[in-house]
Structure 1
């Protein structure tokens, strides 16, 4: 198995705490190179209960998302002159030259994209108009993968550990998002402190109306852009490279100080969820999840889903009658003994654990 660090950009190798050298959950079900959610490669596809399409387009996969890149990762990408990153550099340079969503702290989605993303319905993986601008359509890969941000580093469509795996990766995203925010602010404090002193690093108002420039995919007015960038207008790429240099100089202890109490708490949560994802235990008492989705298949088997619309468990139809015996009133071992005595059947603890991880069986 690979370490958690190995799943992240190389910049973090000497920066994150020792915990990140622990083994990461291996997500073999999320086969990105051969998209597990496309109709061509999805195994044992089950038509959705609600009749809506949940599979992804092969020309978008899960990349119907526009990443928000912190200044230092942009600088790291611009500083990488390897041939492998040539297309990624070209695209990020074009983005910077457009001035749309370009600030001293982030290279981020246009406001119109965010509006569409937040207000669209059942679009994820299916709307080509929301495809990531860094997506390589020809290869189905990412042109900036080595410098991806927190969301792209931690999203999987399916998890080997089910809900436990999902919770771990979501917690890692929370930790990395905090690190991105604080490290980008640290760089700003070195290079453009007035950006922080003016409060420009605060979260933007989500309900702010779109401007004419937002609607027309145009750059902000020159005066507004100059006020944002101060004396760095025309030197944005140099600024981002300097941000990268500032963050590279941060030590592991320095990052801990930057993250403060929030970082300590988030790491402890992450450690707890890592244990649950990699060393699970079967709860003493379980009950069948009344909110689980049940789909009977033509061959008599049954597909059960709960924690995610993208992941289901298929079982022989006979197993369903056994699962409903788990009512949360008796310990698991007592229910298994009842099944052996009265139904001449049993469910192996490994199967029960898998069903619990997918939240088909839950704790009362």
Structure 2
């Protein structure tokens, strides 16, 4: 996980022992795999939470955009090729802005352009302006599609991020699709929450120890300040870490620790937990935890879902449905089988959940 976490000072990460126990690939041992849940040597906090690589979520070959204007890979949830998932304005702390300036390249001009609009520019860093929509439902409908939401640090092209080496946790830990579906998404989301809290704490640290400019500072004064913050965080040591206020990190840290569990097994009794449906290619796209990771199923799936009343085992419901319904692939050959593999896919994406959770 060094490549994911190394943008944050090692001394700051050491204050949150949970970050040091992530493993990059499934099956790799955690440092204290035999320790009780939540316990670590010396009284710290540890866990074993492998982070599954997400090969389908690739910026240079985005699976969420049409390959050809006539091909829609997942309406109504496809992204615009000129926007993709870069319709999010990250909250970039001062030291990451400064690193972008010190690195040089196209990101510098994007930072300068953003500073020309002073809304939400401060000594802490650059946040989203207040007129950005905050409602999650509205954002999901517009995300990846609305040019008004384009990230100010977007530079265009296949790899279009002007601050990629200094991108924030919200971008480092967001993926449109997860190999482990809902379980995998939760691990990335909770890690992102904790890293974002640590970014905020480091930004506040710079404000506390430095001589920040006034709110009406000129662009050049902001640029000098952000460069100073980058240099200061690069010198961050264990003495600084002891002064760091991590109170805002405690809640996300506890949520991350709570994920010290093996991947959930599939129970015998399931119930529907579908968040969205869309007719597509002779079948139906079914979404669970996210519309971006939907599964295409035959229409016979509705007969199966109708039997999941909280008491009927899903294998019994599947057997009854396949006995009573013809094979839908005769009418639409591209559809998946209505079989155990499809049911497991629906469980993976959270479109089916244990009856005990309802």
**TM-score with structure 2 setting the length:** 0.71
Q: Kindly tell me: are residues 266 and 78 of structure 1, through their superposed partners in 2, closer, same or farther at Cα, counting changes over 3 Å?
A: same
Please give the per-residue CA displacement for 1:43-99, whole angstroms capped at 9, x wherever unaligned. 873444xxxxx322111111122222101111222222xxxx411123224444665
Q: Tell me the residue number matched to 2:91.
A: 68
Matches within 5 A, 1:130-149: 130-149=149-168
Q: Kindly tell me: are residues 105 and 293 of structure 1, through their superposed partners in 2, closer, same or farther at Cα, counting changes over 3 Å?
A: closer
Q: Tell me the residue number matched to 2:131.
A: 115
Please give the per-residue CA displacement for 1:174-209, whole angstroms capped at 9, x wherever unaligned. 2122112111111111113xx7xxxxxxxxxxxxxx
Task: Name the CA distance, whole Å, in 2 between partners of 1:6 and 1:102.
Answer: 28
Give 1:228's match in structure 2, choosing from 211, 215, 219: 215
Matches within 5 A, 1:205-224: none
Give 2:233's match in structure 1, choosing from 225, 232, 247: 247
Deviation of the 1:229 alpha carbon = 6.3
Q: Tell me the residue number matched to 2:66.
A: 39
Give 1:322's match in structure 2, choosing from 299, 304, 308: 304
More helix by share: 1
Report the number of matched residues: 308
- 3-state SS, counterpart of residue 244 of structure 2: helix
Task: Name the CA distance, whole Å, in 1 between partners of 2:290 and 2:202.
Answer: 32
Please give the per-residue CA displacement for 1:92-117, whole angstroms capped at 9, x wherever unaligned. 244446655432111234x3xx3143
Structure number with higher relative contact order (C-alpha < 8 Å, ≥ 6 residues apart):
1
Q: Tell me the residue number matched to 2:264.
A: 280
Q: Kindly tell me: are residues 132 and 44 of structure 1, through their superposed partners in 2, closer, same or farther at Cα, counting changes over 3 Å?
A: closer
Task: Name the CA distance, whole Å, in 2 between partners of 1:252 and 1:21.
Answer: 24
Give 1:30's match in structure 2, choosing from 53, 57, 60: 57
Task: Name the CA distance, whole Å, in 2 between partners of 1:154 and 1:342.
Answer: 39
Task: Name the CA distance, whole Å, in 2 between partners of 1:69 and 1:155.
Answer: 15
Task: Name the CA distance, whole Å, in 1 between partners of 2:110 and 2:74.
Answer: 38
Contact kept? 1:69, 1:106, Cα under 8 Å: yes
- 3-state SS, counterpart of residue 235 of structure 1: helix
Aligned Cα root-mean-square deviation (Å): 3.5
Task: Name the CA distance, whole Å, in 2 between partners of 1:295 and 1:271.
Answer: 36
Q: Tell me the residue number matched to 1:354.
A: 345
Deviation of the 1:12 alpha carbon = 4.7
Deviation of the 1:14 alpha carbon = 6.2
Query: Runs of 5+ in structure 2 lacking a partner?
Result: 14-18, 26-50, 325-337
Q: Tell me the residue number matched to 2:108.
A: 89
Q: Kindly tell me: are residues 177 and 341 of structure 1, through their superposed partners in 2, closer, same or farther at Cα, counting changes over 3 Å?
A: closer
Matches within 5 A, 1:286-325: 286-289=270-273, 291-297=274-280, 299=282, 301-325=283-307
Q: Tell me the residue number matched to 1:220.
A: none
Deviation of the 1:31 alpha carbon = 2.7
Query: Runs of 5+ in structure 1 lacking a partner?
Result: 49-53, 196-225
Task: Name the CA distance, whole Å, in 2 between partners of 1:241 and 1:270.
Answer: 32
Contact kept? 1:293, 1:305, Cα under 8 Å: yes
Please give the per-residue CA displacement for 1:311-336, whole angstroms capped at 9, x wherever unaligned. 21123444543344332215x4xx42
